[in-house]
């Protein structure tokens, strides 16, 4: 598990080609924006992350392992290329399930896109904060 966490925390655009060392060929990946299957499709998700964001990186805080499953909590730090805002932080978690060979067969990320991302965008943020206030009334 430490090897995989080290990989995530040091992930760079050049490392995306190394995903098959950690993911099964038919692995599934899901987050609030993507749901794909196959290591090539997962590589595409990570490649797009590096193209769309400036200096993205993960900082893993907690690692819980039970049998063939793992749960990670993390911060995802990045800068938006299109907006002049400073470094952004998304707090989230990943559920990983491993196959018989120790490769990731399922990778599911959990994070609140509305709170962690949309509320921080200039125009959309105001609308999201208004909707949040209305829902909490």
**For 13-70, how does the pLDDT look when each residue is reduced to its tens digit (9 = 90+)?**
999 999 999 999 999 999 998 999 999 999 999 999 999 899 999 999 999 999 999 9
The dihedral region occupied by 67, where left means phi > 0, alpha psi between -120 and 50, and beta the remainder, is left
Taking residues 100-119, what's their average pLDDT? 84
Residue 122 within any structural domain of the chain: no
Buried/exposed code over 56-78 (b: 16+ C-beta within 10 A; e: otherwise): bbbeeeeeeeeeeebebebebeb
Positive or negative CA dihedral for 104, 54, 121, 137?
positive
With a cut of 80, say whether residue 133 has pLDDT above it: no
Helix (H), strand (E) at residue 4? helix 2-10
Number of domains in the chain: 1
Residue 45 within any structural domain of the chain: yes
Helix (H), strand (E) at residue 69? strand 69-80
Residue 43 within any structural domain of the chain: yes
The whole-number pLDDT of residue 81 equals 73
Domain enclosing residue 83, as ranges: 2-111
């Amino acid at each position: 598990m430490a090897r995989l966490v080290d990989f995530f925390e040091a992930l760079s655009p050049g490392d995306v080609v190394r995903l098959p060392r950690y993911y099964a060929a038919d692995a599934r990946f899901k987050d609030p924006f993507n749901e794909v299957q196959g290591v090539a499709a997962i590589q595409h998700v990570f490649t797009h992350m590096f193209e769309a964001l400036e200096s993205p990186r993960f900082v893993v805080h907690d690692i819980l392992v039970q049998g063939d499953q793992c749960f990670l909590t993390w911060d995802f730090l990045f800068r938006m290329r299109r907006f002049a805002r400073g470094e952004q932080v998304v707090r989230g978690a990943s559920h990983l399930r491993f196959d018989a060979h120790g490769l990731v067969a399922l990778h599911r990320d959990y994070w609140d896109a509305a709170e962690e991302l949309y509320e921080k965008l200039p125009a959309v943020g105001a609308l999201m904060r208004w909707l949040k206030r209305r829902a909490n009334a």
